[in-house]
Every structure is written in structure tokens, then in C-alpha cells.
Amino acid sequence: MSKPVSGDFSKTAGWLDWFDGPAKPAFTLPAGAVDAHCHVFGPGAEFPYAPERKYTPCDASKAELFALRDHLGFERNVIVQATCHGADNRAMVDACRASKGKARGVATVRRAVTDEELQSLHEAGVRGVRFNFVKRLVDFTPKDELMEIASRIAKLGWHIVVYFEAQDLPELWDFFTNLPTTVVVDHMGRPDVSLPVDGPQFELFVKLMREHDNIWSKVSCPERLSVTGPKALDGERHAYHDVIPFARKLVETFPDRVLWGTDWPHPNLKDHMPDDGLLVDFIPHIAPTPQLQQQLLVTNPMRLYWPEEC
């Protein structure tokens, strides 16, 4: 059944709603596992979508996110500000506050943000800001504005999450490598997985991580990156074969700087909507040992988002 979008909005044509009734994963997540990349959308009637957004999603509320967390066996979430909310962080903050300490957040802020607003985001559980360079999702923000934000949030001990596409890495290299905090790259910098894993495009990303030990990567979104599948649907517990070598290379080369997240509710997928239970079964293919799984799902996200508990 199609999910609602409440408030005075209508979904982007062809919008795929998140998957209802996901399977139980066959893979048992380690105790304390963190879903380190997920979003909330609205609900639009309560938290309106931003005027400058590039898409209008279905609603995906905090209650639905927390139910998914419990169903899959995660203990905590990192809720990343979705671009459909622009720099209005209220939905994400509301979810963090309602989580009873089980969610931390990554915000989007503009240059005009005040120190008081940053402090209030910190108190709600925000520990990072997201800089987005994907042109279909956001309007351009000048790099000097981003650098100014970076130096302000660095003082709070926050980090920076960056989202970009592989072909843009050469142009962004100097900016990324001059950032003053830990930098977490969304979805492995979106490699073209039809190219060789040891070819120049992905090697450039590996080099970025090798030469800069403050740069981390989320080994997430196989459902977005995969070209040949198979899809995490209809009981398929060994999905997205073509993405495995890329994610596994990062997990094995940089085991203390990788994170994993569901990316629920999976904005902008055009082709299919994965069953999140089957998506979790991707994890043991990219982190094949209990030790790598512990680092990916517990130790690393805890160090970044709940350091006071480490």
C-alpha cells in the first residue's frame, strides 16, 4: 500500500515507498549494533518539507524508524539530515530527543546558524554536519561558507559527513583534505561498480583514505550502487554481488574507519525498494569475521557518536 505524505505536499512522481514488513535478517547483529545512516521524513504535517527541496518523499516517522531498529536487531541509530528538509533540522532533532539516548544526529546548517543553535543541536544529540555535493539533491554552497561552518563545529568536537559522486572527487580533493575534523564519506563516495575495484576511479578513493587517517567511509547503499544485483527482495540473502568487492576492500583495509547503515527509508530509489531485513544480510559478505563485524557495527560508530561510553 502506498505510504502517505501528510501536509500540503504530494510525492515526487514515481516515488518508491519504503518496504513494509521486512524479513528478519538471518545474520545476527552483534550486541549494541548501530545503524549509522538512516533518515526520518516529516511527517510533513508536523515537520514540513523544505521549500528548496529537490524531491518530496512519503512520510517516514521516528516511530517507524524505531520499530525497524528493533525488528532488525540494532540498538541505536545515527539519523542523518535528509536533503528534503534542507537546513530545518526539527524532524531529525525531534527523533533524536524522542529516542531516549538511542539516536544521535547529523545536521545541515547554514552560515547564519548561531552558537546558541549549535549548542541546542548538540544537546539534542547532534554530533556532525553534512556537506552535500550531489547536484541532483542540493543547490551549490560556496566552499568558503562550508569551511567557516567546519571551523565552528570543530570546536564542538563534531565531525563532517560528505556526500559526493566519484567523478567529482578530483575537484573536491583539496577541500576534503583541508577539513579540520574527522570526515565521513557517505556510501563509499558512490563508485561506479561496473568499473574494476582496483581501477583508477576506486583507487583514488582508497588513496584518499590511505593518505588521510581522519577520513572514514560508510560502506552502505549497495541497493543504490548495484548494477547487476540481485536485489534484496523475495528472500534473496546474498544480494548486490557487484558491490561486495568495493565495500569489503574498505572494511578489510580500514577496519577502524568504516561504518554501516541501512539508509532507510532509501530516498530516490527508482528501480526497487529493498527489504531491509535482507539488506542486513549483506553485512557478513563485506565484513566476514566477527571481529570486523564488531568494529563496523559497534566499536567504530560508538567511538564517533557515543565517545563518552567508550
Among 17, 59, 64, 186, which residue sits at the site for ligand 0GZ (rule: CB under 6 A)? 186
Residue 268 CB, nearest distance to ligand 0GZ (Å)? 3
Q: Is 12 in the site for ligand 0GZ (CB under 6 A)?
A: no
Among 87, 137, 172, 302, which residue sits at the site for ligand 0GZ (rule: CB under 6 A)? 137
**Residue 65 region, left (φ>0) first, then alpha (ψ -120 to 50), else beta?**
alpha
Q: For 304, which DSSP code?
A: H
The Cα 48–Cα 44 span in angstroms is: 4
Phi, psi of 97 (to 5 degrees): -65, -35
Contacts of residue 254, Cβ cutoff 8 Å, sequence gap at least 6 = 209, 216, 217
Choose between 83 and 181: whose C-beta lies nearer to ligand 0GZ: 83
Binders of ligand 0GZ among residues 53 to 82 (CB under 6 A) are: 82
Choose between 138 and 179: whose C-beta lies nearer to ligand 0GZ: 138
**Residue 61 region, left (φ>0) first, then alpha (ψ -120 to 50), else beta?**
beta
Closest by alpha carbon to 280, among 303, 304, 264? 264
Choose between 35 and 186: whose C-beta lies nearer to ligand 0GZ: 186
Choose between 36 and 251: whose C-beta lies nearer to ligand 0GZ: 36
Helix intervals (H) in the chain? 62-72, 90-98, 115-124, 143-154, 169-177, 200-211, 222-225, 244-253, 276-280, 283-286, 290-294, 300-305
Residue 224 CB, nearest distance to ligand 0GZ (Å)? 6
Number of residues that bind ligand 0GZ (CB under 6 A): 9
Among 268, 272, 294, 302, which residue sits at the site for ligand 0GZ (rule: CB under 6 A)? 268
Mark residues 219-238: x for contact with ligand 0GZ by CB under 6 A, - for none. Answer: -----x--------------
Q: Is 115 among the residues known to form the active site?
A: no
Terminal-residue alpha carbon distance, the chain = 42
Catalytic residue among 35, 59, 88, 263: 263
User: 302 to each of 37, 76, 89, 227, 239, how far by Cα in Å?
Assistant: 13, 10, 22, 32, 27
Residue 276 CB, nearest distance to ligand 0GZ (Å)? 14
Among 42, 191, 267, 284, which residue sits at the site for ligand 0GZ (rule: CB under 6 A)? 267
Cell numbers 549494533: residue: 33
Among 35, 64, 263, 275, which residue sits at the site for ligand 0GZ (rule: CB under 6 A)? 263
Among 77, 83, 182, 300, which residue sits at the site for ligand 0GZ (rule: CB under 6 A)? 83
Active site (catalytic) residues: 263
User: Which residues make up the interface to ligand 0GZ (CB under 6 A)?
Assistant: 82-84, 137, 186, 224, 263, 267-268
